[in-house]
Structure 1
Amino acid sequence: VMYVTTPAHVLIALDATNGKELWRFVPDRGKEKFTGINRGVAYWHNGDESSILYTVSNYLYRVDAQTGKAVEAFGDEGRANLNEGLLKEADKMAITSPGAPNIYKNLLILGAVSWSAPSNVSAFDIKTGKRVWVFNSVPRPGEYGYDSWGNKNFWKDGAGVNSWGGIAVDDENGMVYFSTGQPKDDFYRSDNKGQQLYGNCIVAVNAETGKRVWHYQALHHDLWDLDMPCAPVLVNLTDNGKAVKGVMQLTKTGNILLFDRLTGRVLSKVDEVPVPASTLPGEYAYPTQPKVTWPEPFSRQVVKENELTNRTPEAHTYAKKIFSASDAGWFIPPNLKGILYYGIHGGSEWGGGAYDEQENTLYINANELAWHIKMRDINENADAADKSSLSPGNGVFLKMGCSGCHGADRAGQGGIPNLTQLDKKYTAADIEKIVHNGRKAMPAFKQIQEKDMKDLVDFLLNKTNTAQAAIVKNKPEYRSLGYNKFLDQDGYPATAPPWGTLNAVDLTTGAVQRVT
């Protein structure tokens, strides 16, 4: 039997020999509408019992694998609310869990994503649906890593450090491995020094208790949205002629990190190298970053002038103009000038790689699209008479990171909607509901305060607001002008091909063989 989910979160069982549908489970109750995405399910069996466990928006469901019916003894008649029993009231957490969960004995283990609150990794009792343990990805007072934050209140006031790539379980040794992303906001977090654990880490915990065993931070104080994109992979390695039970983490920067899975000893060769300081007031970029020298990187890591597009002479001239006006290099922090770098979409992507144990070879596809990130002070010239100043709603739009997907001009990109003519389709109440609850792949923004919400809705409905944007004297607040791909004037990548590759990496020698 094959179990699949649809974009509408419907769980379907198919006869794998002929594709015939056996049953389908529709998760919504009444008029519920779910947001978010689902990237996999987990199968559990014990004696005659067998179940499929999967996430839908902020719920974890347990479905009988034979009948397709919800197991009513689990949680609230077949589902558990991922937002309950945490730091804030359930309706303010805005947690979803897109990554595939995993199973250890009678525990279902899954990561979490939130743009409104600090995230976590949790274990739920498969029988009852009760949360057994929780690992806080932003440590609380008294927990290991709390002192790595300059802002000592980020554990309750901040958001992110999400674990959305998936979970790896070592049944033999009773260990769980997961990776994490960066804190919010992505490109600027003022007055907040430090490494900021457990941002951009691979973390190993005890499967029974959730207690930290070891961790490794692949990127300190991330200011580039270079979160760990995929689940760790259990591998068997050789170190100085001795067999080692290993675990591997792939990164958006095209690196392969190898570890002894029991002790956390780093088997890759890594140097801690100095990097530039931030030029934005209030931001304290970490002074060094890990640089992996072995195994070889499987994608480009620095945008270089001699690798700009030559598709046409005009395209090269266009790309060179942007390159010359921007900064490009190894971990240059975001700035007003603009930075060019690879990695927001990989390097490695959420699907990760495939490991051939017999050949000790990793197969990995890589994305090589460069990005152009430029910052603006949303409190600059906050004067209604100044045409260059931001309206209050535009300031909220940038502050909440809406421009990251929809663009600073609200024009959208790819499959992301254009927001410039919402006044022709939606009411203020409609937009407030969408922003507050999320929609499809858009997350919920529970943390927006009432006045900010009104200003944002007015801005999205193209209403004129002559009031000054909120400003704190001598206190700049920087946000990006959007996730802008480094493209030429015709919309092609502004770097020369390849723009994506399939690679084979020999984990014995560390050498990369580009397949295509």
Structure 2
Amino acid sequence: MAVVISGVFGILLGLALIIGGVRLFDLGGTWYFAAVGAGFLLVGILLLKRQRAALWLYALLMLAALGWALYEVGLDWWQLAPRGSLIAPFGLWLLMPWIVQRLSWQHFGLRAWGGAALPLLLAVVLWGATAVLALGRDANDVKGMLPPPLAEATAPGEGEEPDGDWHAYGRTQLGQRYSPLAQITPQNVERLEPVWHYHTGDLRRPTDPDETTYEVTPLKIDDALYLCTPHNFVIALDAETGEERWRFDPQVSDSSNRQHLTCRGLSYHVERQAPAGQQCRQRLFMPTADARLLALDAKTGKLCPGFGEDGQVNLWANMPNVKEGFYYSTSPPVVARGLVIIGGAVNDNVRRHEPSGVIRAYDVRSGELRWNFDPGNPERTEPIAPGQTYSQSTPNSWSISSADETLGLVYVPFGNQVPDQWGGRRSENSERFSSSVVALEIETGRLRWVFQTVHHDLWDMDVPAQPSLVDIQTDAGPVPALVAPTKQGDIYVLDRRSGEPILPVREEPAPQGAAEGDWTAPTQPVSALSYQPPKLTGKDLWGATLIDQMLCHIQFHSLRYEGRYTPPSTQGTLVYPGNFGVFNWGGVAVDPVRQMIFSAPAYLAFTSKLVPREDDSSTLVSDKPPYLNENFGSPFAVELKPFVSPLGLPCTAPPWGYVAGADLRTGKTHWLRTNGTVRDRAPLPLPFKMGVPSLGGPMLTAGGVAFLSGTLDYYLRAYDSTSGRELWKARLPAGGQATPMTYRSPSGRQMVVVVAGGHGSLGTAAGDSVIAYALPR
């Protein structure tokens, strides 16, 4: 019976591979799967006839498959595994006594396991030896060491905030995510232990949007921590014990129109000339999901009555296309030179006519509008007149800005004009500011310079992260630089005075042939410091099994794909890297002393398919509010999906996530290490280190340790910033899709704090935890 079952299995598997393989070959893909299918089919037939020739033939099939696998992917275990997932186990099965002893051998005159069984045994042993050899290699890692710091290098901005505090989202308005604390080192970090664990009590509700997320990085000021939650609660904690001091609830009502529900952080301002006990001398600013900007007294948690109307400013003021839930800010504003500078997000691709992407500056004391930068009307930055509205549907800035108060400039990362995947009706100014970093004068809002990272962006490649500001040592002396990570994997290093590249930027030819009514840019910029992935080929496709991998090949060859920046199409286009981004809002961390950058590049592919619209009301790609990607008023809706197999696994081979260390002076990446496990993504909690994407930024310290919690497995990790080696990790109770921070507690301990609340869109476990770690006393 075992021989019959094996024969039937071989025939069925062979037929499946032949059918799929012929389809793949017809699409222009490899003949490999059809050939393997033919081999399985013949082996199955011979097994049913109880012919020992089946073992000979299967030995040849195994050896040929092994040779092909090694030719394609070498000794990369996670690439070899699916190629041998059915082939090798079936070969081992055929060597079992209940198979071998029941096959006829009279034509060979040999005993069981003799003759044809020996070549099969050799093939199985070769597959096994190859697997063992591959398991011992880090096929995708680049191991190295960053050079030591320059003797003359210093950390610009030191002294503006106490070393032990964390006053802004990136610690300072420079956005470096770097702390000068050095109590925790590579030598003692493994001794870190939890000190306190606080629960915010803000849990997900049935009415929340899918993308309800905890992405907050707390602030530490004096002896208190301050944080916000997805439903916009603001909470003050004792920095030593984690005990709650006060809580403010802005009473944000639920809405089905919102795409996101998150709060990445708060902003802080202190009136240094005011008496210490004066009300609202220390202010916290928070934008809400219902488009208000609040000013709170940091000591009491009460609204500051002199700011706007009763402590709040209405961000819907002067907006076009007002519709609740379609405009709000998820990121903390910049506070600089007495101004609160804020942008906002609009819902992705719902309508052609959306609110404005205007950037506005308000007085920190009164909440009075001081200037506005409207990307559709960039020359007029004086406060808009009552009754007028800003330009509709302009590129918006949903991420975090940075500021250099010495130069008097604020640096704003911009996204796209909707719709993202079809740009046939974009205005001249939208073309100018889409997917760019824009430098504005802090005091007036006037444009100083603009640097575009994607021309005529059709892939939703917003500049997603806060630019990091650092002074880079060059042969000509220190140069004030801006470091801008992008979704497509380029990290631009610019002179922040002028926007001119410090590390070279070249223009490369881009694929052509946009959808009807649209066009594509002939070239696209590429930075000398880049983590863009190589163009995908058949050998890069993956799957848990041979069948799964074949189906990914069929899908790949059914899509339009000519490399990065292949235009969206009605056929369906493969977008790699996808709009999840090699880098997203978490950005990078910059060590101003070491002149190095710590990053966590991620690699996932997506597909986009333009769906022609016949009217402006039918829902084609969504089934619930706010009807994302319908693009009402445009010629096409768009289907956006991850490029995954029928099992829901990525069709591109791991690793899908790394940590990397690069020298900012040269742009050279000195180390690149696979990061994260599939423990929390696999059906069984197996800690396979395949490298998983990270959403949430890294943090660096002067002690030579970096921290990251945003991976899709639930860990806070510590790394040696010189080599990238993982030093320590702590299990989190939920997804840690936030950027950690560190501070000195009143008792003198260096604390590391992470928020673990999960991310709705990524499917990581939800929670409400704020956890502090420190070395034992």
SS of equivalent residue, structure 2 residue 433 = coil
Give the 3-state SS of the residue equivalent to 1:235 in structure 2.
strand
For 1:183 and 1:360, the matched residues in 2 are separated by 35
Q: Which secondary structure state, in structure 2, belongs to the residue aligned with residue 289 of structure 1?
A: strand
How far is 1:160 from its partner? 4.6
The residue that corresponds to 1:397 in the other structure is 619
Instruction: Answer whether contact 1:83 1:91 (CA < 8 A) is retained.
Output: no
User: C-alpha deviations, 1:357-397, integer Å up to 9, x for none?
Assistant: 12111111122010111112123xxxxxxxxxxxx68x543
State the AA in 2 paired with 1:504.
G
Find 1:172's aligned residue among 397, 403, 406.
406
CA distance in 1, matches of 2:655, 2:361: 41
SS in 2 for 1:54: strand
Which of 74, 85, 102 is the aligned partner of 2:334? 102
* Cα offset, 1:290, TM superposition: 1.1
1:376 aligned to 2:614?
A: no
* Counterpart residue number, 2:541: 308
Work out the CA distance in 1 between the residues paired with 2:600 and 2:394. Answer: 27
**3-state secondary structure, aligned to 1:483:** strand
| Alpha-carbon distance between aligned partners in 2 of 1:336 and 1:504, rounded to the nearest angstrom | 39
Q: Deviations over 1:232-288 (max 9, x none)?
A: 110121344431011110000111101111121111211222323334211122222
Q: Secondary structure at the match of 1:375?
A: strand
The residue correspondences of 1:358-507 to structure 2 (distance < 5 A) are 358-379=593-614, 396-398=618-620, 403=621, 406=622, 410=623, 419=624, 435=626, 477-480=635-638, 482-507=639-664
Mapped to 2, the partners of 1:301 and 1:45 lie a distance apart of 48
In 2, Cα distance between equivalents of 1:239 and 1:303: 36
In the superposition, relative to structure 1, how do residues 66 and 191 fare at CA in structure 2: closer, same or farther (>3 Å)?
closer
1:425-448 CA distance string (max 9 Å, x none): xxxxxxxxx64xx9xxx89x9x97
CA contact (8 A) 2:503 2:667 kept: no
For residue 37 of structure 1, the aligned residue among 244, 262, 268 is: 262
Q: Evaluate the alpha carbon distance shift between residue 234 and residue 375 of structure 1 in structure 2; reply closer, same or farther with a 3 A threshold.
A: same
The whole-number CA distance in structure 2 between the counterparts of 1:493 and 1:32 is: 34
Greater fraction helix: 2
- Residue 114 of structure 1 and its aligned partner are, at CA, apart by 2.3
Tell me which amino acid in the other structure corresponds to 1:135.
F
Task: Give the TM-score, by structure 2 length.
Answer: 0.51
SS in 2 for 1:70: coil
Q: Which has the higher contact order (CA 8 A, sep 6+)?
A: 2
User: Aligned partners of 1:213 and 1:139: how far apart in 2?
Assistant: 15
Q: Please tell me whether the aligned partners of residues 10 and 27 of structure 1 are also in contact (alpha carbons under 8 angstroms).
A: yes
Deviations 1:294-352 (CA, angstroms, capped at 9, x unpaired):
12x22425333221115321122011101111122131110122211213011101111
Q: Is the 8 A contact 1:190 1:284 kept in 2?
A: yes
Unaligned stretches of 5+ in structure 2?
A: 1-223, 348-353, 382-389, 675-777
| Structure 1: distance between partners of 2:477 and 2:226 | 40
- Of 286, 304, 327, the residue aligned with 1:54 is 286
Q: Distance in 2 between matches of 1:32 and 1:164?
A: 21
Change (3 A) 1:222 1:143: farther
SS state of the match for residue 655, structure 2?
A: coil
Task: Provide the residue aligned with 1:336 in structure 2.
Answer: 570
The SS at the match of 2:619 is helix
Q: 1:237 to 1:214 in 2, by over 3 A?
A: same
> Is 2:371 the counterpart of 1:133?
yes
Matched, 1:286 2:521: yes
**Residue of structure 2 in register with 1:14 after alignment:** 237
Find 2:362's aligned residue among 108, 120, 124. 124
**Correspondence list, 1:198-277, <5 A:** 198-277=433-512
Identity, % of aligned positions: 27
Deviation at 1:94, TM superposition (A): 4.0
Letter in 1 for 2:641: N
Q: 1:193, 1:15 → 2: CA distance? A: 50
**Secondary structure in 2 matching 1:327:** coil
| Residue in structure 1 matched with residue 343 of structure 2 by the alignment | 111
8 Å Cα contact 1:360/1:506 also seen in 2: yes
SS in 1 for 2:345: coil
Letter in 2 for 1:497: P
Instruction: Tell me how far apart the structure 1 counterparts of residues 661 and 532 of structure 2 sit (CA, whole Å).
Output: 12
1:38 offset after TM fit, Å? 1.4
Aligned residue in 2 for 1:25: 248
1: CA distance between counterparts of 2:438 and 2:447? 7
Offset, 1:93:
9.6
Contact 1:192–1:284 (Cα < 8 Å) also in 2: no
C-alpha contact 2:482 2:494 (8 A) present in aligned 1? yes
Residues 256, 268 of structure 1: 8 Å contact kept: no
Secondary structure of the 2:502 match is: coil
Where in structure 1 are there 5+ consecutive unaligned residues? 145-154, 380-391, 411-418, 420-433, 453-475
CA distance in 2, matches of 1:291, 1:200: 14
- 1:514 equivalent to 2:672? Answer yes
Residue number among 226, 238, 251 corresponding to 1:3 in the alignment: 226
State whether structure 2 residue 299 is matched by structure 1 residue 66.
yes
Q: Which has the larger radius of gyration?
A: 2
Residue 320 of structure 2 corresponds to residue 88 of structure 1: yes
Change (3 A) 1:323 1:33: closer
Quote the residue 2:308 is aligned against.
75
Tell me how far apart the structure 2 counterparts of residues 32 and 321 of structure 1 sit (CA, whole Å). 43
Structure-2 change in CA distance of 1:54 and 1:87 (3 Å): closer
Measure how far apart 1:139 and its partner are.
3.4
Deviation at 1:88, TM superposition (A): 2.7
Whether the 8 Å contact between 1:250 and 1:257 is mirrored in structure 2 is yes
Amino acid at match of 1:289: Q
Letter in 1 for 2:619: F
Q: Distance in 2 between matches of 1:275 and 1:377?
A: 25
Do the aligned residues in 1 keep the contact of 2:413 with 2:436 (CA within 8 Å)?
Answer: yes
**CA shift in 2, pair 1:279/1:102, >3 Å:** closer
CA deviation profile, 1:140-176 (whole Å, cap 9, x unmatched):
6x669xxxxxxxxxx84x5151101101011222110
Preserved CA contact (<8 Å) 2:225 2:237: yes
* Partners of 2:438 and 2:292 in 1: CA distance: 24
> In structure 2, do the counterparts of structure 1 residues 176 and 189 end up closer, same or farther at CA, with 3 Å as the change threshold?
same
Q: 1:91 to 1:335 in 2, by over 3 A?
A: closer
Number of residue pairs matched?
423
SS of the equivalent of 1:318 reads helix
Name the aligned partner's letter for residue 497 of structure 2.
L
> Contact 1:346–1:368 at 8 Å: present in 2 too?
yes
Please give the TM-score of this superposition, normalised by the length of structure 1: 0.76
Q: Detail structure 1 runs of 4+ shifted over 6 Å in the superposition.
A: 31-34
Please say if residues 239 and 267 of structure 1, whose CA atoms lie closer than 8 Å, have aligned partners that are also in contact: no
CA-based RMSD: 2.7
Code of the residue aligned with 1:205 in structure 2: it is: L
Task: Give the conservation status (yes or no) of the 8 Å contact 2:373–2:380.
Answer: no
User: Once the two structures are superposed, what CA deviation does each residue of 1:414-472 show, in whole Å capped at 9, x if it has no partner?
Assistant: xxxxx5xxxxxxxxxxxxxx64xx9xxx89x9x97xxx9xxxxxxxxxxxxxxxxxxxx
- Equivalent residue number for residue 431 of structure 1: none
1:74, 1:80 within 8 Å by CA — same for their partners in 2? Answer: yes
How far 1:183 sits from its partner (Å)?
A: 1.0
Answer whether contact 1:336 1:375 (CA < 8 A) is retained. Answer: yes
Secondary structure of 2:362's aligned partner = strand
How far, CA to CA, are the matches of 2:359 and 2:608 in structure 1? 30
